[in-house]
Amino acid sequence: MAPIESNDRLMIILICAVPFAALSYCGLVMASLIAIPEVKQYPLVFGGIFALIPLVLGAAIWIGPFRK
């Protein structure tokens, strides 16, 4: 069997790591919505903040290499 190239290994790691990171982030959001009183008081505000964090992070990663 041929050895796995570094690009293939990186794709395997990304395919496994990205869903796990998203699941752990979702668990963190749900736990904070249950446990923290301020988040319970204003769920729409904190829900918007929690939704913007991955959006901004993804946009920064996507646009980052194109900046000069």
Tell me the pLDDT tens digit for each residue of 19-68. Answer: 999 999 999 999 999 999 999 999 999 999 999 999 999 888 888 777 76
Amino acid 41: pLDDT: 96
Q: Rounded to the nearest 10 degrees, how much is the dihedral formed by the CA atoms of 23, 29, 30, 32?
A: 140
Which pLDDT score, from 0 to 100, does residue 11 have? 84
Enter the pTM of the model.
0.71
Domain extents for the chain? 37-63
